Amino acid sequence: MPNLAIENLTLSHFRSHHRVQIECDARPVAVYGSNGAGKTNILEAISVLSPGRGIRGSSAEEMTRRPEALGWKVKAVVHSQDRFHEVETWSENGAARQVRIDAKSATQIMLGRITRILWLIPAMDRLWIEGAEGRRRFLDRMTLSFQPSHAENVLIYEKAMRERNRLLKDQVKDPHWYRAIEEQMALSGVKIRAARTEALEHIQAAQDEAETAFPTANLSLVNTEVSNIPTESNELAQILNENRSRDTAAGRTLIGPHRDDIYGVFAAKNVPAKDSSTGEQKALLISLILANARALKQQTGHAPILLLDEVAAHLDQERRASLYNEICALGAQAWMTGTGPELFLELGNAAQHLLVVEVEGKSEVKFL
């Protein structure tokens, strides 16, 4: 079955890139060059072909090339589900980004049905030891890859929660103001919880079944406030109702899937991921990304597009070769960055190779 892949990528006024067009096939893509040349900017451009704010979590205004600040555009021809799609996303003068698919206006959520994209970037190296918010984002990115509708449920829940929090801060006591909002939170909240739980089950199974050079993690979904979030919307709505006085005192909603977290354990040593070494934590993240990709391929028939920023630099030669072998076995189009070609020698002709250089303040891409 043909792979999910980008076959043509065009960047216009995006970050350091004035204009670049990249023609490629479904093989992995090795992107190398000196620090600051614009390698990661290519990965970020690909990441905005999926719902959300991309690998850096930046606003549309922050992505525009300076000093012109005219706006930016990313355009791609994507092979997905046995069809070619022309996908465009852009922002003008710092406005919210727009999306067009096959010449028709579209939503970001619709992008998730065409381009399933996973990434691993250096900022995620501290995922296991920093706050729960980063782990929730990581979990939601994985969940979104299985269920594109998850993004919409999260948006609905967060909007309703913001409205409830405003009432709480204003010390509104009338229950009629809360009832419809809490019902909306409960309906979307149980869907969010169910989707996250199912995603972790898929990934755990994909880890357990795989022969891999990377360590596996035992994962569980926990909540910082309650041991169990109800699976029925009427039960969650009742809890929100009963907790209203406590929430009013706090000025915010204390119970719900917005307090979810992932607890990970290094399976081979039975050690919490947060207490593992830096190298082990990195290896666990790579393992999870690969497991996510395997599970998606089992479910959809296509491996997702992978964005791996500076991942190879942290691996020894044996582990690098293992990573590349697993990517090639998956048939995934993985875009990988590094400072030099020596990091990708093991790939040889199994990958496409791009050199990114900076010339007079602009990033240029050379095909090798």
pLDDT digits (tens, 9 = 90+) for 182-202: 999 999 999 999 999 999 999
**Average pLDDT estimate for 320-341:** 94
Spatial separation of the C-alpha atoms in residues 45 and 37, rounded to whole Å:
15
Q: DSSP assignment, residue 260?
A: E
More confident residue, 215 or 190: 190
Q: What is the pLDDT of residue 82?
A: 86
**Average pLDDT estimate for 40-66:** 93
pLDDT at 227 > cutoff 80: no
The pLDDT confidence band at residue 1, using thresholds 50, 70 and 90, is very low
Q: What is the pLDDT of residue 359?
A: 93
Task: Answer whether 279's CB lies under 8 Å from 269's CB.
Answer: no
Residues 6+ apart with CB under 8 A from 227: none
Task: Answer whether 3's CB lies under 8 Å from 29's CB.
Answer: no
Q: What is the pLDDT of residue 76?
A: 97
Per residue in 127-150, pLDDT (tens digit) is 999 999 999 999 999 999 999 899
Strand order in the sheet with 83-92: 17-23, 5-14, 71-80, 83-92, 98-101, 104-106
Per residue in 158-185, pLDDT (tens digit) is 999 999 999 999 999 999 999 999 999 9
Spatial separation of the C-alpha atoms in residues 368 and 365, rounded to whole Å:
10
pTM of the model: 0.93
Strand partners, 222: 261
Q: What is the pLDDT of residue 269?
A: 93
Task: Answer whether 323's CB lies under 8 Å from 18's CB.
Answer: no
Domains of the chain in start order, with CATH, are 1-116+302-368 (3.40.50.300), 127-298 (1.20.1050.90)
Q: Where are the alpha helices (DSSP H) in the chain?
A: 39-47, 108-111, 132-146, 150-169, 175-209, 233-242, 244-250, 278-300, 317-330
Q: What is the pLDDT of residue 368?
A: 83
pLDDT at 36 > cutoff 70: yes
Spatial separation of the C-alpha atoms in residues 33 and 101, rounded to whole Å:
32
**Average pLDDT estimate for 26-43:** 96
Name the packing angle between helices 175-209 and 278-300 (round to 10°): 90
Residue 244 phi, psi (nearest 5): -60, -40
252: part of which helix (H) or strand (E)? none
**Average pLDDT estimate for 322-348:** 94
Task: Answer whether 319's CB lies under 8 Å from 234's CB.
Answer: no
